[in-house]
Amino acid sequence: MEQQQKKPLSFGATMLASALGIVIVSAVFGLLMLISLISMIVSLSKMDKNDTTVVKVGSVLQVDLSTISGDRTGTGLQMSFGNINTVGLIDACAAIRAAGTDENINAVYVTDQGVDALSWGSLTELRQALADFQASGKPVVSYATGYSQPGYYLCSTADIVTLHPSGMVDFRGMGAEVMYYKDLLDKLGVEMQLIRPESCAYKSAGEVYTLNHMSPANREQIRAYISSIWHTATAQIAASRNKDHFSHRDVTDFDGLTVADLNRIADNLSGYLASDARAEHLVDSLCFESDVRHMLRDDFGGKQLIPVAKYAANVKKALPVHKDHIAVIYAEGNVVDGSARGFDQGVYGDDIVKALREAANDESVKAIVLRVNSPGGQATASEAMTYAVRQARAKKPVVVSMGDLAASAGYEMSCLADVIVAQPTTITGSIGVFGTVPNIGKMLSKKLGLNTDTVSTNRNASGLNIMRPLSPTAMAMMERNVEDFYKVFVGRVAEGRHMQYDDVHRIARGRVWTGADAIGIGLVDTLGGIDLAFSIAAEKAGVEKYSVVEFPKEKDTWTQLMELMGEESDSDLTLADKARLAVWYRTAKPTILSRTESDLRYVATAEGLQARIPFITVTM
């Protein structure tokens, strides 16, 4: 029999099948979006619930340094990107101190698995918190498969320092390395025109584009501040590795380390390998982590490990509520104009100005602590924030707490405060300004064959054009601009620090200082952490009991999502809109930039005059 041929589907039937397929796919996709939305809402609601971690008798507070990120604990969208176990530095320190008076906490266990994300100012703050905990008579135990140099600086304060038998201690002194781009730019045919006051020889950030080596002034200031940090670090390590300092370890064969011993070890790398580190008494024991956990249980009654992030959440929830408040305003990152949107990170001028205004006008806020952790940035944003500090100070006390960095624009916004508190390892100063204007015309012509021609009504209509060198008139105008801003900057510091203009200029000129050195020249009032800043603020405000409120206020989750999508408001969102956002939110997962990546993005997009610390890499 002949096989009967099948008739092709009619056009109408084809369209009906296609439409049915689209409906089915859309329904499935809609169901997936709804499931994703429900999952997201459940996830966020779990984060918002007042769940409290049970701290049993015989608990040990585990401080995993890789879980400490930034000054302020992330919330909202950041927490739902798998970061629910991270905690900000300030909350981590508060948790460690609170554990000292918690009868259920027997010890603190510090693990160095990610300390490279923390800089020296943060480490000094953590070190002091651990010392405060030890004052309660409870031990601190540390363990690492390998100690980085910053990690060892922190963990050396422990009563018992342990190391993996195959690990190492990277203890070799401090160095700084600067990368210069001039020769690369020359090969590309790009000329970077640097404009800075003639007297600001130490303001070296722009030199990376115009030189291929360190200038004498930059070499001088870098040597000074890394030496200052190293002096602080070795003095504190030596004090910690003293046999009379602790009572929880066997020191019969150990008289203690001196600063000279530490420098000898660094010069010879004689503590690098695990066996050498033990022989040099950098560590107390070579063992595995399971051995440390047995020791915590057997010697110190540790039955349960409590992550510092969860314990910090407990501490915050248990804080008593008082009618008087002290506002803490976080200014962390590069200084830029405008307002943050979505995942944007940095010190956004409009946000800080708004936070200062709100705190100053809030009758329940009796004083303001401005937490500055910034290398500087755009001069216009810096000016706006400095003016806002002046206005806030006219209404109530303003105390600055400096973190890792409070330099250039970060220092300008600090200088008008009533009191400035810094860590000895804080990098500050850099009072100066610079501008850079590239000339890419030669590159485009020689490399790509692109040329331009102009017609103008006035002789300087194209005087600020990146396709050609600055005209003499434009260059003179730019030089006057940076010189005028520098004079304003120095004048602001002279006003805020009650100094003469010439005295400020002598120590300014763009030079960077550590907190330990800055206190001797009048740029800083006292050395300490944010806890000291709170105490000073409370004393100046005349309050004994207070609650801490944080600024800028956190935006709700949907507002952050809408900002990420480029929208201004979610007031008209339908359920379908929210489902669409939920799917994007779960699949796109925008990345929170690290400090290094953020700095690179900032350099690539920076506009206008820059009041910023020199770009350097410090070998720690």
Q: Has residue 590 got a pLDDT over 50? A: no
What is the pLDDT at residue 18? 64
Percent of the chain surpassing pLDDT 90: 62
What is the pLDDT at residue 104? 96
What is the pLDDT at residue 33? 58
Strands 610-612 and 376-378, bridge-based pairing = antiparallel
When pLDDT is averaged across residues 168-193 and rounded to a whole number, the result is 92
**pLDDT single digits (tens) 434-479:** 888 888 888 888 888 988 888 889 888 887 888 888 889 989 998 9
What is the pLDDT at residue 431? 95
**pLDDT single digits (tens) 1-58:** 444 555 555 555 565 666 666 667 666 666 665 555 555 545 554 544 456 788 999 9
Tokens for 281?
A: 């008494």
What is the pLDDT at residue 613? 63
CB-based burial, 565-593: b 16+ in 10 Å, e otherwise: eeeeebeebeeeebbbbbbbbeeeeeebb
What is the pLDDT at residue 6? 52
Higher pLDDT, 496 or 4: 496
Angle at 551 between CA 546 and CA 554, to 5 degrees: 120
Q: Which of 129, 51, 35, 124 is nearest to 84 (CA)?
A: 51
Higher pLDDT, 298 or 40: 298
* Cα–Cα distance list, 129 to 264, 401, 508, 519 (Å): 29, 16, 32, 22
What is the pLDDT at residue 92? 96
What is the pLDDT at residue 444? 87
Catalytic residue among 156, 408, 414, 430: 408
Most confident of 13-17, 285-289, 376-380, 471-475: 285-289
Average pLDDT, the chain: 84
Q: Has residue 118 got a pLDDT over 50? A: yes
What is the pLDDT at residue 593? 35
pLDDT grade for 112, boundaries at 50, 70 and 90 = confident
Our CA dihedral for 84, 89, 94, 99, rounded to 10 degrees, sits at 70
When pLDDT is averaged across residues 590-613 and rounded to a whole number, the result is 47
120-134 vs 89-100: helix axis angle to the nearest 10? 10
CB 482 within 8 A of CB 206: no
What is the pLDDT at residue 131? 96
- Cα–Cα distance, 178 to 214 (Å, whole number): 8
Angle at 218 between CA 217 and CA 223, to 5 degrees: 105
What is the pLDDT at residue 465? 83
What is the pLDDT at residue 569? 44
Q: What is the DSSP string of 386-427?
A: HHHHHHHHTTS-EEEEEEEEEETHHHHTTTTSSEEEE-TT-E
> CB-hemisphere CA count at 13 Å for 496?
30
CB 233 within 8 A of CB 153: yes
Percent of the chain surpassing pLDDT 70: 76
When pLDDT is averaged across residues 89-118 and rounded to a whole number, the result is 90
* Cα–Cα distance list, 275 to 35, 107, 168 (Å): 55, 27, 9
Q: Has residue 565 got a pLDDT over 90? A: no
Angle at 515 between CA 257 and CA 409, to 5 degrees: 145
| Lowest mean per-residue pLDDT among 34-38, 231-235, 505-509 | 34-38
* SS3 letters across 585-613: HHHHCCCCCCHHHHHHHHHHHCCCCEEEC
What is the pLDDT at residue 26? 63
pLDDT grade for 114, boundaries at 50, 70 and 90 = low
When pLDDT is averaged across residues 74-82 and rounded to a whole number, the result is 52
Q: What are phi and psi of 373, to 5 degrees?
A: -140, 75
Domains of the chain: 59-175+216-316 (3.90.226.10), 321-435+467-554+592-619 (3.90.226.10), 558-589 (no CATH)
Catalytic residue among 138, 203, 366, 578: 203
When pLDDT is averaged across residues 503-520 and rounded to a whole number, the result is 96
Tokens for 444?
A: 């485009």
| Lowest mean per-residue pLDDT among 62-76, 85-99, 399-413, 574-588 | 574-588
Is 571 one of the annotated active-site residues of the chain?
A: no
Is 408 one of the annotated active-site residues of the chain?
A: yes
